[in-house]
């Protein structure tokens, strides 16, 4: 069954790449609209989604073809690698051409910070940060949890993130999100270190920024991948960030120059590489977890 899960993950990723932008996919769009009323509704819907995932996983337990099919469908529904690359490319192009309002609009789709009033430098910094964070959120986390727990893991990892986006500042939602993202953020940072040389980045810089600069960060997860991206690209991110609930002074991550549109393009490339590495890792994890369950 481990092979069926691994095959399903790969088929779902292939569908994500072939069918493109997940913003136009009914599952994610419908869930975002449904979570609009608040955290209680969002948590209830997340619970229903995970329950449906559990039932699907049980139905495919002794049917490899069914398990591969349901895993592929869930992977396609929740993984956002293609959409993240598309939006990141849009951000880089708009910044390069000086079209700031479209860049602000795209950033607002990816990140809850206040984008209005941000200039080119601030938008470039925010773009690198959100590309790094979303690489963990919508690519690495669903894949790793899918490899470990199958369809329920895929759905839980993605829906918790969507509920948090719809209900910022809710204590229970925030703690649940921190728990779900605890391992994926660190895995994403480690994969960033490994993938940095592929895009001409610094593996050593990614490692040092990750281990050095996130100590002062108030969140157990946030900043890990951002720091690794900053170190890999030899730039500096972090600092004063404005959210709807107020201004947050975050630690500076990385050492180097402030990012520009070219760094946003390289961040998109790095995000793709991390996604590929996460895909390979998820296949290995799925196979190993299956072998462990099959031992007498």
Tell me the two tokens of residue 221. 């997860």
Model-level pTM? 0.92
Q: How far is CA 261 from CA 68, 102, 125, 126, in A?
A: 40, 14, 9, 11
pLDDT at 35: 56
Beta bridge partners of 240: 249
Express each pLDDT in 41-81 by its tens digit.
Answer: 777 878 888 898 899 999 988 899 999 999 999 999 899 99
Express each pLDDT in 246-292 by its tens digit.
Answer: 899 999 999 999 999 999 999 999 999 999 999 999 999 999 876 66
Q: Give residue 38's pLDDT band: very low, low, confident or very high (50, 70, 90).
A: low
pLDDT at 23: 58
């Amino acid at each position: 069954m481990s092979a069926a899960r691994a095959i399903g993950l790969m088929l779902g990723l292939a569908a994500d790449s072939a069918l493109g932008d997940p913003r136009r996919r009914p599952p994610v769009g419908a869930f975002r609209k449904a979570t609009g009323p608040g955290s209680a509704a969002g948590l209830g819907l997340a619970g229903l989604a995970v329950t449906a995932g559990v039932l699907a996983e049980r139905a495919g337990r002794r049917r490899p073809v069914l398990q591969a099919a349901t895993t592929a469908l869930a992977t396609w529904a929740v993984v956002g690698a293609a959409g993240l690359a598309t939006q990141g490319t849009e951000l880089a192009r708009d910044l390069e051409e000086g079209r700031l309002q479209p860049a602000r609009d795209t950033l607002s789709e990816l990140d809850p910070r206040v984008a209005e009033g941000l200039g080119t430098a601030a938008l470039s910094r925010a773009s690198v940060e959100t590309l790094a964070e979303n690489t963990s959120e919508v690519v690495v986390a669903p894949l790793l949890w899918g490899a470990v727990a199958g369809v329920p893991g895929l759905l839980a990892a993605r829906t918790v993130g969507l509920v948090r986006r719809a209900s910022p500042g809710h204590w229970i939602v925030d703690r649940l999100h921190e728990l779900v993202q605890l391992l994926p953020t660190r895995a994403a940072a480690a994969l960033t270190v490994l993938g940095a040389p592929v895009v001409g980045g610094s593996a050593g810089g990614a490692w040092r920024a990750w281990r050095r600069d996130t100590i002062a960060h108030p969140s157990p997860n946030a900043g890990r991948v951002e720091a690794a991206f900053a170190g890999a690209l030899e730039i500096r991110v972090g600092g004063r960030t404005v959210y709807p609930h107020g201004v947050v002074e975050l630690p500076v991550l990385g050492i180097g120059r402030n990012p520009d549109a070219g760094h946003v393009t390289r961040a998109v490339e790095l995000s793709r590489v991390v996604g590929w590495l996460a895909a390979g890792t998820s296949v290995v994890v799925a196979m190993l977890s299956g072998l462990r369950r099959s031992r007498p």
